[in-house]
Amino acid sequence: MLIFEHTQPGRRAHSLALSDAQEAHDLPAELLRQQPPLLPQASELDVVRHYTRLSQKNFSIDTQFYPLGSCTMKYNPRVCNTLAMLPQLLARHPLADADTGQGFLVCLYELQEMLKEITGMAAVSMAPMAGAHGEFAGVAMIRAYHDARGDSARREIIVPDAAHGTNPATASMCGYTVREIPTDRQGNVDLDALKASVGPHTAGLMLTNPSTLGVFEKSIVAIQNIVHEAGGLSYYDGANLNAILGRVRPGDMGFDVIHMNLHKTFSTPHGGGGPGAGPVGVSERLRPFLPIPYVLEDLGAYRWAEEGDCPRSIGRMSAFGGNMGVLLRAWVYARMLGGRGMRRVAEFATLNANYLAAELKRSGFDLAYPERRASHEFIVTLKKLKDTTGVSAMDFAKRLLDYGFHAPTTYFPMLVPECLLIEPSETESRETLDAFVAAMVKVLEEARMQPEMVKGAPHTLPVRRLDDVRAARELDLTWKLG
């Protein structure tokens, strides 16, 4: 039942009583609305009950394990939310003067400084509002750098074939063309292909390390040299930063610009698809181009850096400087972890991933890169199962839902057939991992014994498999009255 179907004309939950003076106005009739919008007319209890019930149709970290590769679905500490929602912080207007928000700004400044330290970059701006937004800022800075040097013939961004889809999409948004390069059999960037691809047309390379294949790029120094010698800059996609927190820093790996996903590594909530936060860090030579605003400190006073402070900035990413509430949650998390705690994040995320990989391998699953050490994630390929039973990675994933586990990432990266990309994160216990292995084994048995049942999964959720083709072909994007 939709909220609109709860409507009883004339029923209201929250409606101000207006005075006569407030009701009267002299706005010109041709500027006014004639028909009221289609909004529910329901009681507060109707609304609370409706959305509480809807919430119960969701999987979430608070209720289920999400071994979702490349997404770092770790526990979102409650205290981060509580403190970010202190009433003074919620009430503060974005254009209020800096002297009314020193307590708020010092938190952001501390986070900015911590992110510099953690990534080994020279400067950080937290203006971008999501990972892809940070990517945009990063590639725009690469372009601004080349343009400022009059080196504008560089029009190409190199992207490995295992990269997130946002990488090539971002390069296009920045007016660049994209050249994909292959991955070798060990999951590394194909160095010969890279050498053959770079040249005076190369603006930069975008790389995730550990890669989306769940392995650390061992030749990272050689890759940097190839790109830099060709005059290009290197971009670090921080999607997998959780794997190396406190162990190795993108700045030390030689990257010129990076983005971080605070909703992954710093445990801010995914919120059913956002908000995220995608701060960017840069090496010294890209500092002048950082997006604004970021926080400046001057003799213990904090303020925003604006246009006048940074005339060569790539500009603004949002009306008011970014997803502040997300940044505050990340600040709480970072202060609770401390430097040592961050190192332990990487250690235990990696331990959990390697443990899960080892147990699944023992249970008869094929790892895509069995001879490599898993980082914080790894890939299982179900190609043999598909060939023998017809059960696909998609079917397998849907059946896991019936056992109360969110599906791993499926069909990404695309170069591994029938793949499940699995990332347990550091906040899951050994018992949870063992229960997940047991469910994987059970579904494997079912796939062999009752493949049709698995292909029809899920069977126990609020709905069964949905018809995506119909959704796209017979577009129904809004409810219509009657």
Task: Please list every residue from 107 through 166 that binds other proteins, using CB under 8 A.
Answer: 107, 110, 113-114, 116-118, 120, 129-133, 135-136, 140, 143, 164-166
In the list 382, 412, 413, 436, the residue contacting other proteins (rule: CB under 8 A) is 412
Does the protein bind other proteins through residue 420 (CB under 8 A)?
no
Alpha carbon distance 445, 440 (integer Å): 9
Write the CA distances from 62 to 59, 104, 414, 427, 431, integer angstroms.
8, 28, 30, 12, 16
x/- map, 327-366, other proteins, by CB under 8 A = -----x-xxxxxxxxxxxx-xx-xxx-xx--xx-------
Does the protein bind other proteins through residue 267 (CB under 8 A)?
yes
Please choose, from the candidates 378, 379, 363, 387, the residue with its C-alpha nearest in 3D space to the C-alpha of residue 441. Answer: 363
| Minimum CB distance to other proteins, residue 449 (Å) | 21
| Minimum CB distance to other proteins, residue 32 (Å) | 6
Q: Which residues contact 329 (CB under 8 A, 6 or more apart)?
A: 80, 81, 83, 84, 262, 266, 267, 268, 269
| Minimum CB distance to other proteins, residue 231 (Å) | 19
Cβ closer to other proteins: 199 or 315?
Answer: 315
In the list 67, 74, 280, 290, the residue contacting other proteins (rule: CB under 8 A) is 74
Does the protein bind other proteins through residue 86 (CB under 8 A)?
yes
Within positions 24 to 43, which residues make up the interface with other proteins, using CB under 8 A?
Answer: 25-28, 30-34, 36-42
Does the protein bind other proteins through residue 475 (CB under 8 A)?
yes
In the list 182, 199, 200, 271, the residue contacting other proteins (rule: CB under 8 A) is 271
Q: For tokens 């390379």, name the residue.
A: 205
Helix 324-362 × helix 102-119 angle, to 10°: 30
Cβ closer to other proteins: 248 or 388?
Answer: 248
* Contact by Cβ (8 Å): 292, 112: no
Does the protein bind other proteins through residue 371 (CB under 8 A)?
no
* Contact by Cβ (8 Å): 362, 203: no
List 381's β-bridge partners, or say none. Answer: 366, 419
Alpha carbon distance 334, 346 (integer Å): 14
Does the protein bind other proteins through residue 56 (CB under 8 A)?
yes
Length of the chain: 482
Cβ closer to other proteins: 94 or 390?
Answer: 94
Count of positions on this chain that bind other proteins (CB under 8 A): 199
